[in-house]
Structure 1
Amino acid sequence: MMSFKLWRSTAVLAITLLVAGCSSNTSTENSSAENSGANTSKTTEVSVTQAADEVKDEVKEDYRIVSTTVATTQFFDLLDLDLVGIPTSVKELPKRYDGITKIGNPMTPNMEVVKSLDPTEVFSVTTLEYDLAPVFKNAAIKSTFLDFTSLAKMNAAILDIGKRYNREEKAQTIVDGYNAKVEEIKQKVAGKPQPTVLILLGVPGSYLVATENSYIGDLVRLVGGKNIVQGEDVEYLASNTEYLQQSNPDVILRAAHGMPEEVVKMFDQEFQENDIWKHFNAVQQGRVYDLPEELFPTTANMAVAEALDAMVDMLYAD
């Protein structure tokens, strides 16, 4: 009996969203005039409530946000929120942030630059929280790590930030659009045989197996596919090719992280030189797909609809 040894990697960290509130205290003095009746009191109460709401709105709009990843930057663009800092990336960022100060790599932001921007809040993603939370804490900078490891969690983050920054209507519209797309996909694949899927995440020099708890694993689940790795509570695991071959998936998806061209070459070499891969049904049937990083990054981004359509085409190819 062949053993299935998959070493656990970093556990998925829970999302922490710090809710900022504001309050106002008001006091009124009673008038001694006999003609100050109920109507006057009611008018005064309405005026006080309106004033409090105006102060609350002003506080919500008084922000200086630094976004440290491409996904969070796209996210704030959709919510029509201004930023004072954005990540340094070869990827194209929303045009509205042209000229905004760049704060460095998402994994190692330049803290001197970040501090110089005097941010009210810095945003990253939970997959980087373990490394970055202590850095922001030591710098006395308020940080929030958005959980983009699944569409449902990203939707929850969108709604939460929309509520906090006076963008509730925009946030709800975005989430409704994603949910409608998922329903469309479910109807499209209804009744079709469920394909089994192996997801490989390549980094320069090695690769991991993605579980259902990864973003790409979540997309596979949403379009009706079945990940061959079940029952795990982490995003990625080290691989055992002999066990994977026994699982014999219908489809193999190869995702690249970091340096896509180099990773694809690594995958090609691995599949050519390691004899075991030729025994996979997916390889024999030509159902091995390299996922474009702009649609299939390691965390969710705003191209969810396009990614779902592309995933359906791969998993249900004729």
Structure 2
Amino acid sequence: MVSLRQLEYLVTIAEQGSFTRAAESLHVTQPALSHQVRILERSVGGPLLERLPRSVRLTPAGRAMLPYARATLADAHRARCVARQASGLEQGELRLATVYSVGLGVLPPVLRRWRQEHREIQIGMSEHRHGDELLAAMTEGAADLAVGPAPRAWSGPTWQLGLEEFVVVLPGDDPLGAEGVLRVDLRALAERNWVDYAAGNGLADVLHQACAEAGFVPRAAIRTEQTAAAPILAAAGLGPTLAPANIIPAGFDGLVLRPDPPVRRALTAYTRPNPDPISEAFLQTLRETARPVPSALVDLFGPMAD
């Protein structure tokens, strides 16, 4: 059975001329993209793409299928537009609440796709320091949908988005980098001074819990209110820190290592007990697009669910 996603992948590869560029454009990993293309090729009975050393091109079957794939995607887009108009999704506002780290690392590609498909809907996004503040915002009715750590107690619907992976950040010239290691036991960093998070930031809880499980209390060289500042300060040499892998920017010049054992946090979306059509539509986009672990880290460390 051919899916719309597989057709979208085929069209994007044809337009980009490369699996790598297509994967980046679609915000998926290259192995996942290749897997779906192989399934599509099996379903149609033959190869659709010819893999060349530095590019990719359509086979005769691929060239024959491409215009129909584009037409099918266009029809699906028109069908969504008609449905949104009937459901009141062509106008309105979504009140979205999240925590700082998720607003930095997980939501941007989700919001990008949402904006492409729902340009008339305004989004008001509030960001919170801690999961408890996020839950309070939902409890008080200040938001329609929350994305962040699993709430302690919530009477409405909840959905698991996956596990957020944390990494240790050090300066690029740290001796551990010279050893070529990809993983580090936090106990090896127990005597160092750390880049910590200020009280009230939920990531302080994650860092302190991980260190406690390793048998020590981290000494703070500096505490920052800003989630995005922690890896930058660590890369500058102020001390190691623990940060969500998804907030590490492309081209980051620090040393990024995976804690051993891994440090993870479950990410959850939750809505009001009777979500409106806009919230339900955003939730669908979120579940299809959100990537708690960035593909670059999967390529570096391998699968992170072990």
TM exceeding 0.5: no
Higher strand residue share: 2
Q: TM-score, normalised by structure 2?
A: 0.30
Larger RCO (CA within 8 A; separation ≥ 6): 2
